């Protein structure tokens, strides 16, 4: 089952949505987006946990 992530689900005013077949591939997309769009060269553990909690299974 595919996984999705939206920046807006963690409180950011951003329309980015990622979709991938598994969590690892999804998080790779999210990390790239965070670095490029939000200038987050490094993601702390608390933010990473918030991101992982916002991942949803695609219906």
pLDDT of residue 35: 96
Number of domains observed in the structure of the chain:
1
Q: Residue 52: give the domain boundaries.
A: 3-57
User: 18: which strand partners?
Assistant: 5
Q: 19 near 58, Cβ under 8 Å?
A: yes
Q: What does the alpha-carbon distance between residue 57 and residue 46 come to, in Å, rounded to a whole number?
A: 21
Q: 16 near 37, Cβ under 8 Å?
A: yes
Average pLDDT by consecutive 10-residue portion of the chain (59 residues)? 96 96 96 96 94 94
Kindly report the pTM of this predicted structure. 0.90
pLDDT of residue 12: 94
Q: Where are the beta strands (DSSP E) in 1-55?
A: 3-6, 17-20
């Amino acid at each position: 089952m595919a996984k999705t992530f939206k920046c807006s689900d963690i409180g950011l005013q951003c329309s980015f949505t990622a979709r991938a077949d598994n969590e690892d591939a999804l998080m790779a997309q999210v990390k790239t987006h965070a670095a490029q769009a939000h200038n987050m060269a490094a993601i702390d553990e608390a933010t990473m946990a918030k991101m992982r909690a916002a991942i949803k299974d695609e219906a």
